[in-house]
């Protein structure tokens, strides 16, 4: 296709959903009631909702049309077979196992492969993924390259696996203690950072040599494919569709939260190559999710998902515009001198809270405090991705202190306009300029598991 000077969304808007700007007084009250946790805000109190890109995409007219064609048969639904075809065509895995969302697939995969005392390496943790690995008796070990932990490193593939770290781990614990490596595409907690095809291939070769499986978290594999096309030698002329297919070819299976790349509000799947392993997964599926021909989805969910999978790869302009919007916001912030994770990632902008609030100690949750202050300024909702998200070490009980202490502004797909990005950038600048006034936080309630979702805080007296 002829190169243009600028990108534009390859769609126009047919339906809109009104949103309301609240007053500063309303927002002060709302954040206090929410215990300074943006997960506990009501969406009616939010103006621009950048909490997550998960399940928040706008569906196309074709997807809405597909909903009407859902076959709600308990067993053998036509919609299941359509979805199975879509996953086989686009991702290339033979065995397809539907689940209610990504963590449903993680649960099943962890239960069939991990035994008590096993070790599961991965290119940076993801909260729900690590939870399920530990819940199954495993121990997660981070084998991502060091650059991923440095927000300022401009490395083009910060999601890469560090093969020396992986080899050392295999040496240390023995390959028989490592059922699989979990390789995430476009690593969420690193800032939406891709891994390269070359690194994935080498990782897969190393694993095969040792009889270790390679399971992808292919939740944002489309966005990873885009970065490979843009940045990796030899991929400029290939479509993102072809690149995505090639990514999956270097793996034994994948878990996918379809609430991201796949453009639906709910759904997910586990995909495998080995039919025996798939049989064990289906045995558990019927106990935890639902029958093997619907998992946790209705027939209409499966129709919309099949349509979404085809739509995301139909033209490269879709992902180009999606990531283009994220870059638009990131570039404004960089011009304003706001410290954000470099390079700009695929699904959102990650503000470096340690750099913005250097006087708040990490034990007083700078990213949580920054997310709350940003919300109060103009009703923009982001998410803490720092020490609160990292949780406690199961053996010592201490906080885990990640190097990255970030606020994520995740951009939903096909939902907001450039004007929303402008308003967001202005608010980030305004809050950063007044950052001295932001107090640190302390827990008033801390849940035992995945604490970031429901924890509550209050400002630390005398700080800020
Ligand atoms: C987010 C969401 C979900 C997710 C993911 C990756 C790379 C698996 C999943 C789970 C939602 C979320 C989840 C936990 C904490 C905060 C937010 N990410 N793998 O906003 O999929 O949600 O469908 O069960 O990013 O990043 P699911």
Atom of ligand 1 nearest to the CA of 410: 20
Distance CA 232, CA 200 (A): 12
CB 408 within 8 A of CB 386: no
Tell me the best of 102, 194, 413, 455 to mutate to test the pocket of ligand 1, counting ligand atoms within 8 Å of each CB and taking the most. 102
Position 2 pLDDT exceeds 70: no
Considering the chain, what percentage of its residues have pLDDT values greater than 70? 99
pLDDT digits (tens, 9 = 90+) for 117-164: 999 999 999 999 999 999 999 999 999 999 999 999 999 999 999 999
Confidence (pLDDT) at 353? 98
Mean pLDDT, rounded, for 298-304: 98
Q: How far is the CA of 188 from the centre of ligand 1 (A)?
A: 9
Closest CA to 364 of 355, 354, 374: 354
Q: What is the DSSP string of 368-381?
A: HHHHHHHHHHHSEE
Give the distance (Å) from ligand 1 centre to CA of residue 218: 12
Among residues 37, 144, 52, 42, the alpha carbon closest in space to that of 102 is found at 52
Q: Quick one: pLDDT band at residue 4, thresholds 50, 70, 90? A: low
CA-nearest residue, atom 18 of ligand 1: 54
Q: Which residues contact 308 (CB under 8 A, 6 or more apart)?
A: 59, 63, 258, 262, 263, 264
Give the dihedral sign, CA 225/384/399/463.
Answer: positive
Mean pLDDT, rounded, for 70-97: 98
Average of per-residue pLDDT values in the chain: 97
Task: Please state whether 168 falls in left (phi above 0), alpha (psi between -120 and 50) or beta.
Answer: alpha
DSSP calls for 273-303:
S-HHHHHHHHHHHHHHT--TTTTT--HHHHH
Which atom from ligand 1 is nearest to the alpha carbon of 259?
23
- Indicate which residue's Cα is closest to atom 9 of ligand 1: 102
Q: Are 258 and 269 in contact (CB under 8 A)?
A: yes
CB-based pocket (< 6 A), ligand 1 = 52, 54, 101-103, 126-129, 184, 188, 217, 219, 257, 259, 268, 410
165 assigned to active site: no
Task: Summarize pLDDT for 37-72 with one digit per residue, the tens.
Answer: 999 999 999 999 999 999 999 999 999 999 999 999
Distance CA 98, CA 100 (A): 7
Query: How far is CA 454 from each of CA 60, 361, 448, rounded to the nearest angstrom?
Result: 32, 22, 10
Reported confidence tier of residue 6, pLDDT bands at 50, 70, 90: confident
Query: Is 260 considered catalytic here?
Result: yes
Instruction: Kindly give the number of the ligand 1 atom that is closest to the alpha carbon of 106.
Output: 8
- Residue 5, pLDDT score: 77
198-224 pLDDT, tens digit each: 999 999 999 999 999 999 999 999 999
Instruction: From 57, 124, 191, 257, give the residue whose CB has the most ligand 1 atoms within 8 Å, as the site to mutate.
Output: 257
Judge whether residue 187 has pLDDT over 90. yes
Q: Which of 45, 217, 301, 316 is catalytic?
A: 217
pTM above 0.85, yes or no: yes
Distance from the CA of 75 to the center of ligand 1, in angstroms? Answer: 28
| Both tokens assigned to 268 | 């997910």
Identify the band that residue 93 occupies on the pLDDT scale cut at 50, 70 and 90: very high
In the block, tokens 């600028």 appear at 6
Question: Are 368 and 374 within 8 A, CB to CB?
Answer: no
385 is catalytic: yes
- Name the DSSP class of 44: G
Q: Report how far Cα 224 is from the mean position of its chain's Cα atoms.
A: 12
| Atom 15 (ligand 1) nearest CA | 127
| pLDDT at residue number 44 | 97
What pLDDT does residue 462 have? 81
pLDDT tens per residue, range 217-266: 999 999 999 999 999 999 999 999 999 999 999 999 999 999 999 999 99
Is residue 217 annotated as a catalytic residue, yes or no?
yes
Q: pLDDT, tens digit, for every residue of 392-443?
A: 998 999 999 999 999 999 999 999 999 999 999 999 999 999 999 999 999 9
pLDDT at 190 over 90: yes
Dig out the tokens for 195 from the structure. Answer: 């891994």
Taking CA atoms only, the protein residue closest to ligand 1 atom 27 is 102
**Is residue 452 predicted with pLDDT exceeding 90?**
yes
pLDDT in tens, 384-396: 999 999 999 989 9
Which of these is catalytic: 52, 99, 127, 203? 127
φ/ψ of residue 165, rounded to 5: -65, -40
What pLDDT, on a 0 to 100 scale, did the predictor assign at position 285?
A: 98
CA triple 303-307-312, angle to 5 deg = 150
Strand duo 380-381 + 48-49: pairing: parallel
Which pLDDT score is estimated for 12? 97
Residue 425, SS3 per DSSP:
helix
CA of residue 160 to ligand 1 center, whole Å: 20
């Amino acid at each position: 296709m002829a190169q243009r000077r600028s990108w534009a969304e390859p769609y126009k808007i047919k339906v809109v959903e009104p949103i309301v700007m609240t007053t500063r007084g309303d927002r002060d009250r709302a954040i206090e009631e929410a215990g300074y946790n943006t997960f506990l805000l009501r969406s009616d109190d939010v103006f621009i909702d950048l909490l997550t890109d998960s399940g928040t995409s706008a569906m196309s007219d074709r997807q809405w049309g597909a909903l009407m064609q859902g076959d709600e048969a308990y067993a053998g639904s036509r919609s299941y077979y359509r979805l199975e075809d879509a996953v086989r065509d686009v991702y290339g895995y033979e065995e397809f196992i539907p689940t209610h969302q990504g963590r449903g697939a993680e649960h099943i995969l962890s239960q069939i492969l991990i035994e008590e005392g096993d070790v599961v390496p991965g290119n940076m943790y993801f909260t729900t993924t690590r939870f399920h690995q530990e819940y199954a008796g495993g121990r997660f070990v981070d084998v991502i390259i060091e650059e991923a932990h440095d927000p300022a490193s401009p490395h083009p593939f910060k999601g890469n696996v560090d093969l020396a770290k992986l080899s050392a781990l295999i040496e240390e614990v023995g390959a028989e203690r490592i059922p699989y490596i979990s390789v995430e595409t476009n690593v969420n907690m690193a800032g939406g950072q891709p891994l390269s095809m070359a690194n994935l291939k080498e990782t897969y070769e190393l694993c095969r040599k040792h009889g270790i499986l390679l399971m992808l978290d292919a939740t944002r594999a489309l966005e990873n494919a885009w970065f490979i096309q843009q940045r990796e030698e030899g991929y400029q002329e290939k479509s993102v569709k072809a690149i995505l297919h090639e990514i999956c070819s270097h793996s034994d299976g994948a878990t996918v939260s379809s609430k991201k790349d796949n453009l639906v509000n709910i759904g997910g799947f586990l995909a495998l190559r080995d039919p025996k392993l798939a049989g064990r997964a289906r045995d558990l599926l019927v106990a935890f999710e639902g029958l093997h021909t619907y998992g946790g989805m209705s027939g209409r969910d499966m129709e919309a998902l099949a349509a979404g999978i085809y739509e995301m790869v139909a033209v490269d302009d879709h992902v180009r515009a999606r990531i283009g919007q994220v870059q638009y916001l990131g570039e404004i912030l960089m011009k304003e001198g706001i410290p954000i994770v470099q390079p700009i990632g695929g699904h959102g902008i990650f503000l470096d809270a340690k750099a913005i609030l250097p006087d708040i100690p990490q034990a007083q949750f700078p990213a949580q405090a920054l997310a709350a202050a940003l919300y109060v300024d103009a009703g923009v909702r982001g998410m803490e991705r720092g020490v609160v998200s990292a949780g406690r070490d199961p053996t010592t009980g201490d906080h885990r202190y990640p190097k990255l202490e970030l606020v994520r502004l995740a951009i939903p797909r096909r939902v907001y306009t450039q004007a929303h990005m402008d308003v967001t950038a202005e608010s980030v600048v305004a809050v950063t300029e007044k950052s001295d006034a932001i107090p640190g936080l302390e827990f008033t309630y801390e849940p035992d598991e995945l604490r970031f979702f429901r924890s509550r805080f209050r400002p630390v007296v005398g700080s800020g």
